[in-house]
Structure 1
Amino acid sequence: MDKPLANPYRGDFLAWSGVCGFIGSGGGGGAISPHSHCAIQLVLGAPGGLRVQFGRRGEWVACAAALVPSRATHTIDVTGCDMSVVLFIEPETPEGKALTARLQGRLEVLGAEVVGEAARRVEHAWRVEKSRAEVNAICARLIEDISKTAPRQPSDPRVLAAVEYLRERVDQSVSLPEVAKVANLSADRFRHLFVEETGMPLRTYVLWRRLLHVWTLLSAGETLSSAAHAAGFADSAHLSRTARTMFGLPPSVLQMKGPLSERELAREPHFA
């Protein structure tokens, strides 16, 4: 029989437009396997203890935080951290484009002078305030500060109509011409306008919405299989392959049970 982990991971899933990730404590399983994904990764550990390896045989580097470029093989070890935050930034967003140009395929280590104050604030918002909105806001501001970009939300009414259409059909297959018709645009014009407004191609945006929906359902107590189907994945194996591509980990080990999820579950009405 496997022994229980001495310091099991306990955390929450985070998501907003173009970014998702995890905040948690523990990590008794040790470093995850080397992997790569399409997202740019920002990882920080507080008050210390974070280690990052770039490449399959690179040297382990101790740091306060690190930026990992898109599609770069890497791994992280957060077992020495009281709290860790791992954020995945979509490369097509303004922040992602700025960071891609800055990193040029290289790992960048960030010092405590860059992330220390944000780490203290986000830990308080997570552990004490238990406010998802505040945690997201602090993390979003940190990404904006590091990437030197301004926040941007879709404002074109045609794109907003398309976004609402997609949200109502998160569990369904949709095509570019179908959504373009909702916006009263040609497929080609809509494709360019959607990227311009959201920072993401339509296909990537749909994937983000589905993954966000999965972890919302998991946090509410749904099983992995039911959450996968409800979010439009063929089955849990399809979801697992997608999550490994995006995060380097399967969703089966990322079912969140942190302070944010516990508070939200406690607020839900219970019926006899």
Structure 2
Amino acid sequence: MTEAPARAHYEGDFVAWSGGCMFIGAGGAAIAPHAHYAIQLALGAPAGLSVQFGRRGAWQELAATLVPSRAVHAIDVSRCAWSCVIFIEPETLEGRAITRRLAGQPLALPADALAVAPERLERAWRVEQSADAVRALAIQLVEGLSRTVRQEASDPRVLQAIALIRERGDDGVVLEELAAAVKLSPSRLRHLFVQETGMPLRTYALWRRLLQVWDRLMEGETLSRAAHSAGFADSAHLSRTARTMFGLAPSAMRMTGPLAARQRDPQRHFG
């Protein structure tokens, strides 16, 4: 097998949806043992993904792996031709189902557990160069592994709260203000928000701010300006928060894939 050329940074694209997000690309150095909030699904194609479970576990070469929230692990995708890392919010319907399935232990996934997902993802990313197609396939993959069907918020008060959170952006979110705006008590809004979205309101607001950063980077913004636009004091504050949620800092990644290029220049045609 011919190994992919080494790249110091992970170079690719970022795609997000409610309750999840993903990085798809190539390169990057091995990430030291760490733990983070999001559940992680990692796959390397056509081979080359290496994972270490725990701080002293043996490195294993796998087709893919599911890592529960807060589980210590290390990952190396540097020998993959390309790789995909999906982060799943633990409080979502899918996240809770995967958490029950894993019971606190990482899971090595054989290639046949993914069926044709890698090939379809690569085509949507490299050939079709469609963020919507990549997103749909990632969601479908998560649904299959969690054995669930996505749940979208439908209560108009929660939808209004979500709209206000997105509108406020870097101004931050105050529970009492949101509750007053949607005519609910703070405790009732907190309960209803979790019931409808699967996420605590505060976690959702932080998740949105982090997604906003990577959206800005996809648009070509600098890391410092992206951090400030999302309400972080500076890039160091952003990095600490990103490591807690995802286990990596935005500075380790460069949004230079075909989706980012198309987003910055919609008129451009790719061969």
TM-score band w.r.t. shorter chain: over 0.9
Q: Which runs of 5 or more residues in structure 1 are unaligned?
A: none
Q: Which residue of 1 aligns with 2:187?
A: 188
CA distance in 1: counterparts of 2:262 and 2:54, whole angstroms:
38
Q: Which residue of 2 aligns with 1:156?
A: 155
Task: Provide runs of 4+ in structure 1 moved above 2 Å.
Answer: 5-9
What are the Cα deviations for residues 87-124 of structure 1, in whole angstroms up to 9, with x where unaligned?
11111001111111111111111111111401110000
Q: Which residue of 2 aligns with 1:202?
A: 201
* CA displacement at 1:139 relative to structure 2: 0.5
Q: Which residue of 1 aligns with 2:266?
A: 267
Q: Which residue of 2 aligns with 1:242?
A: 241
CA distance in 1: counterparts of 2:6 and 2:112, whole angstroms:
31
Alignment map for 1:123-202 (pairs within 5 Å): 123-202=122-201
TM-score of the pair, normalised by structure 1: 0.93
CA distance in 1: counterparts of 2:70 and 2:144, whole angstroms:
23
What are the Cα deviations for residues 162-217 of structure 1, in whole angstroms up to 9, with x where unaligned?
11111111111221111111221111111010011111001110011111111111
What are the Cα deviations for residues 13-63 of structure 1, in whole angstroms up to 9, with x where unaligned?
121111122101223x3x111110011110011111111100011011111
CA distance in 1: counterparts of 2:6 and 2:43, whole angstroms:
22
Kept in 2: contact 1:215–1:255 (CA 8 A): no
Q: Which residue of 2 aligns with 1:221?
A: 220
Q: Which residue of 1 aligns with 2:24?
A: 23
What are the Cα deviations for residues 214-258 of structure 1, in whole angstroms up to 9, with x where unaligned?
111111111111111111111111111001111221111223111
CA distance in 2: counterparts of 1:69 and 1:203, whole angstroms:
21
Q: Does residue 38 of the first structure (1) align with residue 37 of the second (2)?
A: yes
State the identity %.
60
Residue 85 of structure 2 aligns to a residue whose secondary structure is strand
Residue 243 of structure 1 aligns to a residue whose secondary structure is helix
CA distance in 1: counterparts of 2:26 and 2:123, whole angstroms:
13
Q: Does residue 85 of the first structure (1) align with residue 84 of the second (2)?
A: yes
Kept in 2: contact 1:78–1:84 (CA 8 A): yes
Q: Which residue of 2 aligns with 1:258?
A: 257
* CA displacement at 1:268 relative to structure 2: 7.3
Work out the number of aligned pairs and report it.
Answer: 263
Q: Which residue of 2 aligns with 1:68?
A: 67
Bigger relative contact order (CA 8 A; separation at least 6)? 2
Mean CA deviation greater in 135-144 or 16-25: 16-25
CA distance in 2: counterparts of 1:73 and 1:121, whole angstroms:
30
Residue 48 of structure 2 aligns to a residue whose secondary structure is coil
Distance 1:242 1:268, change over 3 A: farther
Structure with the larger strand share: 2
Residue 190 of structure 2 aligns to a residue whose secondary structure is helix
The one-letter amino acid paired with 2:102 is L
TM-score of the pair, normalised by structure 2: 0.94
CA distance in 1: counterparts of 2:13 and 2:47, whole angstroms:
20
CA distance in 2: counterparts of 1:165 and 1:16, whole angstroms:
17
CA distance in 2: counterparts of 1:217 and 1:185, whole angstroms:
33
The one-letter amino acid paired with 1:216 is D
Residue 173 of structure 2 aligns to a residue whose secondary structure is coil
